[in-house]
Amino acid sequence: DIVMTQSPDSLAVSLGERATINCKSSQSVLYSSNDKNYLAWYQQKPGQPPKLLIYWASTRESGVPDRFSGSGSGTDFTLTISSLQAEDVAVYYCQQYYNSYTFGQGTKLEIK
């Protein structure tokens, strides 16, 4: 199994400030034949199912605000929220889909 490890486990950021969440995979999720990273990010608000935000490590899902961005390659990835809004309070998960599916343990994002 590919193990996904997120850091930090929780994060408090002031409104309007940048939030950065990291995700590390135990092996590369970059598929050399198409040069794509098989890495997605999800947002989960209390009492709701996860919502797909980012796929192929950096492609925003339709309708996702452009303050959300993804970066990284191979084994190290980052989700950045450029200017935190109150509605961004949630738990964020990374997920690899290179080999089966595994999720990170989640990062809880709160307002400072």
| Bridge-based pairing state of the strands 10-13 and 107-111 | parallel
Beta-carbon count within 10 A of 78 CB: 16
Min CB(5)–other proteins separation in Å? 11
Min CB(50)–other proteins separation in Å? 6
Q: Does 2 bind other proteins (CB under 8 A)?
A: no
Binding track, positions 38-77, relative to other proteins; x by CB under 8 A: x-x-x-----xxxxx--x-----x----------------
Q: How far apart are CA 36 and CA 47, in angstroms?
A: 32
Task: Pick the closest to residue 76 from 104, 43, 44, 108 (CA basis).
Answer: 104
Q: Which of the stretches 16-24, 63-71, 80-88, 97-105 binds other proteins when contact is defined by CB under 8 A?
A: 97-105
63 contact partners, CB below 8 Å, separation of at least 6: none
- Amino acid type, 53: L
Min CB(17)–other proteins separation in Å? 26
Residues forming contacts to other proteins in the complex (CB under 8 A) are 1, 38, 40, 42, 48-52, 55, 61, 93, 95, 97, 100-106
